[in-house]
Structure 1
Amino acid sequence: MSKISFKNDYSEGAHPAILSALSETNLVPQEGYGYDAYCEEARAMIRRECDLPEADIYFVSGGTQTNLLVISHLLRPHEAVIAAASGHINVHETGAIESTGHKVCTVPTPLGKLTTDDILAVLTHHTDEHMVKPAMVYISQSTEFGTLYSRRELSELSAFCRAHGLLLYLDGARIGSAVTASGEDNPSLREIAALVDAFYIGGTKNGALLGEAIVFTSRRPDNAFLFQIKQRGAMLAKGRILGIQFATLFRNGLFYELATHANRMAAELSAGIAACSYSFLYPSQTNQIFPILPNSLIEKLSTEYDFYVWQSVSPDSSAIRLVTSWATPPENVAAIIHSISSYRH
């Protein structure tokens, strides 16, 4: 019997509507390399959704690829990017950004979120041409810890970056979960689009087989980014595969529906664990939660469930990461809550 997985939000394949759309259009001939009708439809949908009629939008297969492409394209050779020490580009991308010749200037942050003071400290430290020049701020919404920038926090970062001539780039691998999270102070997709220079909409972690939609909030002055995509091996001949998926996700609100489900499952899971009197390493705001459990309980749970042990908290306890997805069934959430409650007694 296989384990119930709470390891990530991309273990399953794709939502049935996406598989159906791919199947139904399978034998319809189309232009290659993203010039097909489906990619054009998806671009138009995203422009409307973000209220960005002049946005440039490109589809690529994965998040690391997206970050490498965008950051290396927007920065000059001597320029660097500022990120939280926990940021994906610093921890989980095998030095992809550095491999393009750009330094990642990191700041330790307790909740994975940068502040204007954090950024100012980096700018103050880099004084002259003997050091790299910080020219971009990289943030994630939601963060690696499942936390969120509030509307106020994102607005402050945006204003600071614009005042200091910095580009603001947002990693949206889990932007669906972010914009559908509970709370009135979470910025919407349109608000995010108005506050950053570039971002991407993650499909891989929200019901697609694969794919991310890169959004430059204003038109590129030339086609240079297309050359970057091709040169780095990111241009799919069958670009239609990505366009069909994003068109399906943004047709009839499916993108938001799937993310809302993932968040709802996480909220139920978080409430059930809290009811067992366990605490959390970080606030539970999206579809990633980090309960702190006794190591003996973690060992028992690992025989039935898949998850990451995130970090040691004490000699006898650790934080684990549990992730819910668009496909997480309520009975799986009920099962692990029952197991935690049962093992506790």
Structure 2
Amino acid sequence: MKISFKNDYAEGAHPAILEALVRTNTVQQAGYGYDSYSAAAKELIRKKIENPEAQIFFVSGGTQANMLVIGTLLRTYQSVIAPETGHIADNETGAIEAVGHKIHLAPATNGKITPESIADFATRYTNYPHQVQPRLVYITNATEIGTIYTLAELKAIYECCQAHNLLLFMDGARLGSALNAEDNDIQWKDLARYTDVFYIGATKNGGLLGEAIVINNPALTDGFEYYLKQQGALLAKGRLLGLQFLTLFENELYDALALHANQQMKRIKEAFVANGYTLLSNTCTNQLFPILTHNQIAALAEQFDFYQWQKVDEQHTAIRLISSWATTDAQVDALIQAIQSLAVTQ
């Protein structure tokens, strides 16, 4: 069987989560997220981000979280500004468009949107009432190419949004990896200060499933739970999501799992660099995009699963490798050995 570096959700869930689910299985709890586990998890998250007023909602997946946030916060004539590499642009089957919102794709620098491109769209769409009205900026951290925003970049984007009456929404499917990256200088509390809404991804960081939508802007919470129910996102057994986040946050497990994934990918990155390979982007998270020849890709695919990400030229393609909370030293060792062998034969 091949070793998978294809994604960070190939495994099930961290044993602590499975143990908690089994241990509490027959404990009766209220439904629809009003259970004691969800309440405790929300308090831990509020403490983590240093925002006691944050409103938190647990949902099952990332695309669902994006669609719910954007669908709730925007009027039907309003639109989203997103980097051209954003997940909502090409990897969510038109989910945002399906709920009636245009996406303006802004140029991305290292996978990241800039205040200048935000301002360009905000000032370009002023032919009232004949054009859509940009209302929300969507970013991901970590980005789709494994890069991260700096605190200065996040502040600048937030200030630009404030200046143009735009909301800032951060997709945090891989937020754990971003915040535990070697080069990161954003703290949990900064998310409460410099975003209106963000979400914390568990699906890709040790959970069976689940994302926690965190609304920092109190003006945005009205009616949110109604929309969750209307869209089929309010689970009767909400305890299953709440308990997972409680387990992930009560003993810093969430950060520890993300740090492990990052450290494993750092070993892989160092092996590629040491053997003379070029990288598509300079990442410090659990994603890596080495550029290989097509023969090298075919040879590597005999032992490992991964995505072919982006064609670079007629002879080379960038592949995507991802480590997870469960990636073992032995799996990394096997990949490093293969990297060294490819370098010798290239």
Do they superpose with TM above 0.5?
A: yes
Q: Secondary structure at the match of 1:339?
A: helix
Q: State the percentage of identical aligned residues.
A: 50
Q: What is the TM-score normalised by the length of structure 2?
A: 0.97
2:260 is matched with 261
Contact conserved, 2:73 with 2:220, CA < 8 A, in 1?
A: no
Deviation of 1:316 (Å): 1.3
RMSD: 1.1
Contact conserved, 1:178 with 1:186, CA < 8 A, in 2?
A: no
Q: What is the TM-score normalised by the length of structure 1?
A: 0.97
Amino acid paired to 2:169? Y
Counterparts of residues 37-48 of structure 1 (less than 5 Å): 37-48=36-47
1:181 is matched with 181
2:5 is matched with 6
Any stretches of 5+ residues in structure 1 without a counterpart? none
Q: 1:282 to 1:216 in 2, by over 3 A?
A: same
Amino acid paired to 2:162? R
Deviation of 1:343 (Å): 2.5
Amino acid paired to 2:337? H
> What is the alpha-carbon distance in structure 1 between the residues aligned to residue 59 and residue 233 of structure 2?
6
1:139 is matched with 139
Q: Secondary structure at the match of 1:241?
A: helix
Deviation of 1:220 (Å): 5.2
> What is the alpha-carbon distance in structure 1 between the residues aligned to residue 283 and residue 80 of structure 2?
28
Contact conserved, 1:60 with 1:66, CA < 8 A, in 2?
A: yes
1:120 is matched with 119
Counterparts of residues 132-211 of structure 1 (less than 5 Å): 132-183=132-183, 185-211=184-210
Contact conserved, 2:45 with 2:249, CA < 8 A, in 1?
A: yes
Structure 1 runs of 4+ with >6 Å offset: none
Figure out how many residues of one structure are paired with residues of the other and give that number: 343
1:270 is matched with 269
> What is the alpha-carbon distance in structure 1 between the residues aligned to residue 80 and residue 92 of structure 2?
14
1:94 is matched with 93
> What is the alpha-carbon distance in structure 2 between the residues aligned to residue 316 and residue 154 of structure 1?
37
> What is the alpha-carbon distance in structure 2 between the residues aligned to residue 62 and residue 214 of structure 1?
10
CA offsets per residue over residues 51-103 of structure 1, 9 Å max, x none?
01001000000000000000111111111010011101111011101111111
> What is the alpha-carbon distance in structure 1 between the residues aligned to residue 334 and residue 56 of structure 2?
41
Amino acid paired to 2:181? A
Q: Secondary structure at the match of 1:285?
A: coil
Amino acid paired to 1:70? V
CA offsets per residue over residues 108-146 of structure 1, 9 Å max, x none?
314110101111111232122211000110000100011
| Residue 102 of structure 2 corresponds to residue 103 of structure 1 | yes
1:323 is matched with 322
CA offsets per residue over residues 156-207 of structure 1, 9 Å max, x none?
0111111211100000000000110002x52011112210000000000000
> What is the alpha-carbon distance in structure 1 between the residues aligned to residue 233 and residue 204 of structure 2?
19
- 138-147 vs 107-116, greater mean Cα deviation: 107-116
Deviation of 1:337 (Å): 1.2
Deviation of 1:222 (Å): 6.1
Contact conserved, 2:200 with 2:213, CA < 8 A, in 1?
A: yes
> What is the alpha-carbon distance in structure 2 between the residues aligned to residue 281 and residue 93 of structure 1?
23
Amino acid paired to 1:135? R
Deviation of 1:344 (Å): 2.5
| Residue 14 of structure 2 corresponds to residue 15 of structure 1 | yes
> What is the alpha-carbon distance in structure 2 between the residues aligned to residue 103 and residue 222 of structure 1?
23
Contact conserved, 2:38 with 2:239, CA < 8 A, in 1?
A: yes
> What is the alpha-carbon distance in structure 1 between the residues aligned to residue 50 and residue 109 of structure 2?
33
Contact conserved, 1:56 with 1:220, CA < 8 A, in 2?
A: no
- 123-132 vs 89-98, greater mean Cα deviation: 123-132
| Residue 34 of structure 2 corresponds to residue 35 of structure 1 | yes
Contact conserved, 1:297 with 1:340, CA < 8 A, in 2?
A: no
> What is the alpha-carbon distance in structure 2 between the residues aligned to residue 282 and residue 260 of structure 1?
20
Q: Secondary structure at the match of 2:340?
A: helix
Amino acid paired to 1:106? L
Q: 1:222 to 1:288 in 2, by over 3 A?
A: closer
1:292 is matched with 291
2:234 is matched with 235
Amino acid paired to 2:159? A
Amino acid paired to 2:239? R
| Residue 68 of structure 2 corresponds to residue 69 of structure 1 | yes
Deviation of 1:18 (Å): 0.2
> What is the alpha-carbon distance in structure 1 between the residues aligned to residue 145 and residue 251 of structure 2?
30
